[in-house]
Amino acid sequence: MPGTAPVARVYLVRHGETQANRDGVIQGQMNTALNARGEAQARMVANALGPVGFTRAYSSDLRRASEVRVSADAKMDAERDERLRKRFWRHIRAWNWYRKQRYESG
C-alpha cells in the first residue's frame, strides 16, 4: 500500500533454565550455562520461532543467553553485545533467593 510504513516486529526471548535458576541463585552477570532442561527449552524456542524468518537477532554476551538460537537449523547466530546483559545487582548477586526467604520468614 502506498504511504504505509514498514512494520518491525520485535520478539523478546528469555534464556532457558540454568542450574543456578533451579537453586534460586540470583545470577546477575554470572556467566552460567544452560542445564539440560534449559537446552531443551532453547530447542523448543528455536522450533517455534524458526518459521518467523528473522533477518537479525541480538543477545547478551553471557553464555546462557547466547546459547538460545532463533532457528532450529542454527544458520543465524545472534549478534552478542554486553550492553544487553542484565543489570549488575552487585549487592545481591549470587544470593540464594530461597535461603533469603527462609531467613526473613523466621
66 Cβ neighbours under 8 A, 6+ residues apart = 59, 60, 78, 80
Round to whole Å and give the CA distance between 48 and 1.
Answer: 30
Question: Which residue matches cell numbers 553485545?
Answer: 81
13 Cβ neighbours under 8 A, 6+ residues apart = 45, 49, 68, 70
Domain boundaries, the chain: 19-104
The CATH code of domain 19-104 reads: 3.40.50.1240
pLDDT (tens place) for every residue of the chain, 106 residues total: 677 888 888 888 888 899 988 888 877 778 888 999 999 998 898 888 888 888 888 888 888 888 877 655 555 677 888 888 776 555 555 455 555 555 555 5
